[in-house]
Structure formats: structure tokens, C-alpha cells
Structure 1
Amino acid sequence: MSSPTTQTPPKDFDAFLMRIGQINYAWTNTESTLIHLMAGLIPTDTSTATIIHLTLNTTRARLDLVDRLAKRQNCPLPADAIHRILTISKRMKKLSGLRNRLNHCLYAFDQDGGPVRAIQMRIADRKNSLAYGAETVLDEAELAEIDLALRDIQTLNEDIWSVVCDYDMPQ
């Protein structure tokens, strides 16, 4: 039986890791701004909204709550604010797919200089089978997609703060 060898990642792998770290930082920072939307939609103070935010342990649950609060019949915000919030939520849901794909995977590379790959750690139930281990090559196109997503997350952050300020929500 042979022992596993230590593989050294290619030098360009560091660029991907840096981008993934930037995505995580920007995402966490932006997701925390949902607290202020919740506070304005409920309405309540940011302390209470923070407890609600932290109690819901997924992005999807937090966004679903924001959507439902905005769509309810007695929402305290005007229609234009509701429209902006629902648009922001839809954009966040779309961006969460890339973030989740980058965070919930294994990264693989080989000593022979093959491309770095992201291997998804997700099971897809098919009609008569299972699918798992889908691979994405981390190339320049993927790096460009990550950079675009990072800019989109930063824009979302600005848009959320704009709604919070425009409608005098708790800060």
C-alpha cells in the first residue's frame, strides 16, 4: 500500500483563494445588512432584528423572511420601497448560488500541472440515480465570473444601504 503524497497547489491557485476570501467577506458584510431591512419591515429595533437574523441560520431563510415581510398586506413601507427590497432579495438569491458553489466544494489539483478544479460536495437525486462530484475548472473565465460577482455583491451592499437610508430604517 502506498502512502498519500503531499501535493503543492499551483501558484495561480492563490489568486482563486484570495478571490474566494474576498467573496466571503463581502457576502457576510452584505448579508448582515439584512438586519436593517428586517428592522424596517417588522418594524423593530436593530437589536431585535439581529436576534431574528442570527436565529435564522441560512441566507435563504433570511431572504425568505425579508420577502414575506415585504409582501405582507400590512407592510409599513411604501410600494416603491417594497419593490426595491424584493429586487435586492432576488439578486442576492441569484448570487448566493456562486458563493455556495465556491464554499461547499473541494479543490483539486495534480502535480502534473493539470487545471485546478472545484468539485461540488452536493448530491443531486435523479429519477433513477444519484449525481455528485460535478467539477468546474478554475480558469480565467471562472476568475472573471468571481470578480463580476464580487462587484455585484458590493453593489448590493450599496443598494441595501440606500433603501435603509431612503426610508429611514433603523441603523
Structure 2
Amino acid sequence: MPHLPQSPDFASIDAVASTTAEQRTTVLALIGNLVFSWSNNESLFIYLLAILLQTDEVSAAVVFSTLNTTRARLDVIQRLARVKVQDATVAKELDSLIRRFNKASRVRNEFNHCLYSLGPNGEIAQTQSMKLQEVKGQLKWGEIKPMDELRMKQMVKAIQDLKTLNRDIWTFLPRLEQACAKGKPAQRDV
């Protein structure tokens, strides 16, 4: 028989929620900025694809939208780079940009794919991950983390990292374009 959690006391929460509205607004703004920044970076993959496929923006957007997951898009970009990029420095820089994006994706996924729990005053008190974890041979549902000051500082840092990554990708695009125009790719470790 499943054990369900106790239903929140919605009337009590609603009665005092105005006292924690600022905290909820801050958390939701951070989540929004995280998603906004992450999405803008993912959209730049269209230009990476255009360069690597040596095609126009619309054709690259067709490939981008046909690949329905971020992982698939990155996989195609990495495979094309192995074929097209001869400059080892440019190849390493692309790999570094992708690693940084993947790190940011983990943070974004953490806040997009979780259960938010409210505290007794209506504040966003914690998140519970949607990922299953295996602990001592048993499956458990999702890690629970408090939504505290430290966690919000981590979100602010992730947003700043995405902002920096966005500028770094824009700076990188001309170098990738030049590297792809030079001809035969160099041998790279897989």
C-alpha cells in the first residue's frame, strides 16, 4: 500500500504567504534567469552547426530542431568537429565550451525537473530531485536539498557562468569558422 505524504495545510500557508512573497519571487526570478541564460546558450548551437555543416542558418536550424534533445545536438556537433576541425587548439576550445555547457545543464535540470516543497509560511523550502538514486542496493526517489541562502548563491553563480559562456561562444564562432575553412582535419583523440 503506498504511503502518501500528508497534504499541506493550504489555508494556513495562504494566510501567511504574504510574509514570504519576496523569497518566492527571488527564487522564481533565479530559476527564470537560469532557464533564460541556458536556453540562449543552447540556441547558439545553431551557429555551431551552420559552421560545421557549412550551410546557412535556416538549414542549421532544421538540423537543430530535428534533433530533439540537447544531448543529440551536442553529439552531432562533437562528431562533426572531429571531421571538420583541423586546428587542435580550436577543437580543444570547443570541447571545453561543451563541458561548461554540460555543467550548466546539470544545474538547470536540477531546477526544471524537481518537486518544490513549501514551508509552513509559504516559502520555497526545498527541492526534491526527480532522479532515482540507488542507496545500499535500494532505489530511493530523489535527493532533497534545502532552498537556502547557499543554494541561491549557487544559482547566481550558475547564471553568471552561463552569461560568461554565452560571450565565450560568440567569441569562439569566428575562430571555428576559420578553422573549418582551412581544409583537412587533424587527427584527434576520441
TM-score over 0.5 for the pair:
yes
> 1:91-127: per-residue Cα shift (whole Å, max 9, x none)?
1111111100011011101225787101111223567
**Aligned match of 1:16:** 27
User: Are 1:92 and 1:156, in contact at CA under 8 Å, matched by a contact in 2?
Assistant: yes
- Alpha-carbon contact 1:106-1:118 (below 8 Å) kept: yes
Question: Separation in 2 of the partners of 1:152 and 1:56?
Answer: 25
| Aligned mates of 1:118, 1:42 — CA distance in 2 | 41
Show the counterpart of 1:141: 150
What is the match of residue 181 of structure 2?
none
Q: Which amino acid aligns with 2:112?
A: N
Counterpart secondary structure, 2:68:
coil
Larger Rg: 2
- Specify which structure has the higher proportion of helix: 2
Three-state SS of the structure 1 residue aligned to 2:116 is strand
CA offsets per residue over residues 46-92 of structure 1, 9 Å max, x none?
111111111112222211221111123xx155332222111100111
- Structure 1 residues 119 and 160: alpha-carbon distance in aligned structure 2, compared to 1, 3 A threshold: same
Task: Report the alpha carbon displacement of residue 165 of structure 1 after superposing the two structures with TM.
Answer: 2.7
1:32 aligns with 2:50: no
| Structure-2 residue corresponding to 1:68 | 79
* Superposition TM-score, scaled by structure 2 size: 0.78
1-structure distance, mates of 2:48, 2:124: 42
Structure 2 counterpart of 1:91, from 84, 95, 100: 100
The CA RMSD measured in Å over matched residues stands at 2.3
SS in 2 for 1:44: coil
Tell me the distance in 2 between the aligned counterparts of 1:153 and 1:113.
30
Q: Would you say the 8 A contact 2:34–2:159 is kept in 1?
A: yes
Q: How many pairs does the alignment contain?
A: 166
Change (3 A) 1:14 1:155: same
Helix, strand or coil for the counterpart of 1:116? strand
Identity of aligned residues (%): 33
**Which residue is equivalent to 2:70?**
59
Any residues of structure 2 matched to 1:103-118 within 5 Å, and which? 103-111=112-120, 116-118=125-127
Secondary structure in structure 1 of the residue aligned to 2:55 = coil
CA distance in 2, matches of 1:136, 1:28: 24
Given the two structures, how large is their TM-score scaled by the length of structure 1? Answer: 0.86
> Quick one: distance in 1 between partners of 2:7 and 2:99?
48
Unaligned 5+ segments in structure 1 are none
Aligned counterparts of 1:156 and 1:88: Cα–Cα separation in 2: 7
Any gaps of 5 or more consecutive residues in structure 2? 1-5, 179-190
Structure 1 pair 167/112, CA: closer, same or farther in 2 (3 Å)?
closer
